[in-house]
Chain A
């Protein structure tokens, strides 16, 4: 076995980059000031490869940048028109799969799904709206689940656990009927901080903390002025 190299080199759209061995394409690109759009990813959680928005192309093959380790000499295609259009299509699928009424949503302006739609300048989804029948579900004293907006990114399932490592959120059923569920007993025991975290980690307005809302007015929210990913791109200088 040869010792792994200290740094490996790869390219993104022809731009020379370097990475530590074992890094994912997404992380390595970020460290090189290149933003690969992603939706289900959350720093510190095990990547899920669920939204597929971070899909890149390497040698004609499609792979999720959040789960695929970068390798030496890899030539990654990222910001190319056909791939960007396919990513945009995934965002559009999510818009028609649920009921995303942005004007009514507390998360508008801070929502990552919406922010990606903005970044891709989505004016209208190419797909027909499904208008599924979904519910709003109370979950303990502190939070509620707005299933109309859930995109099944699994951040809550992966990241919200009790001290004895039990999952507070889970998934029920499969296919288009797949649904995020919450353990009512464990949800009741969430601390204020945990409830706030659960809401913040939800990329859309699906996990909401009760008794607060619209503390920051529309127009002055995170993605109102600057596209998602700007922080990564600015770091490049």
Chain B
């Protein structure tokens, strides 16, 4: 029998949730026995090569590419999980949501302290670059999300418990200590 397939991605996140994933320490050996990884930074597979049972995404959506990757995941994954504060509520990147996009971009490319005033001001507009969204959004406001694991980052224990419950087909029974937003 083939093993369940897992895929992961980091969108508008800091990879901290992936780091926390790796913090399951030696349990990762057990995990490798239990599942097979497909598209994920963990094994560096860049594209989906088969249908996926569990997709795990950290980070919210801040640009058009994030949205496309997210939709790709939704298409390929049986179960899709929002991992961490940014995926669930936008997180730090969403702190720009009250600021008009123009102001954000001009601050970054025209007025930031690291801009050399003697250089011409250039707003990057290459067509290969993703386009910034008007607001950074949590994943579930764009596609249907099946489970949410909060935290910044979510603790390794929470990630482990969620994954093993899912693999065993048991409902996720959360205790107080596992649900934290910081």
Contacts and interface: CB of A to CB of B under 8 A. Distances in A.
| Direct A–B contact in the complex, CB atoms closer than 8 angstroms | yes
Interface of A: 95, 99-105, 108-109, 114, 117-119, 121-125, 128-129, 131-134, 218, 224-227
B174 interface: yes
Interface centre among A103, A119, A225 (most CB of B within 10 A): A103
Contacts of A103: 85, 91-92, 152, 181-182
B135 A224 contact: no
B176 A227 contact: yes
A129 B177 contact: no
B110 interface: no
Interface stretch (B2-10, B23-31, B33-41, B94-102): B94-102
A124 B182 contact: no
Contacts of A117: 181
How would you classify the secondary structure of chain A's contact residues: helix, strand, loop or mixed?
loop
B140 interface: yes
B97 A102 contact: no
Interface centre among A101, A128, A134, A224 (most CB of B within 10 A): A101
Contact of A124 (B88, B91, B137, B174): B88
9 contacts: A99-B97, A102-B85, A102-B182, A108-B181, A118-B179, A118-B180, A123-B148, A123-B150, A124-B82
Nearest to B182: A108
A129 B181 contact: no
Nearest to B153: A103
A101 B84 CA distance: 12
Contacts of B181: 102-103, 108, 114, 117-118
Nearest to A133: B98
Given A118-B180, A129-B137, A132-B98, 16 more contacts: A99-B94, A99-B97, A99-B98, A101-B85, A101-B89, A101-B91, A102-B152, A103-B91, A103-B182, A104-B95, A123-B88, A123-B149, A124-B140, A129-B138, A131-B97, A225-B177
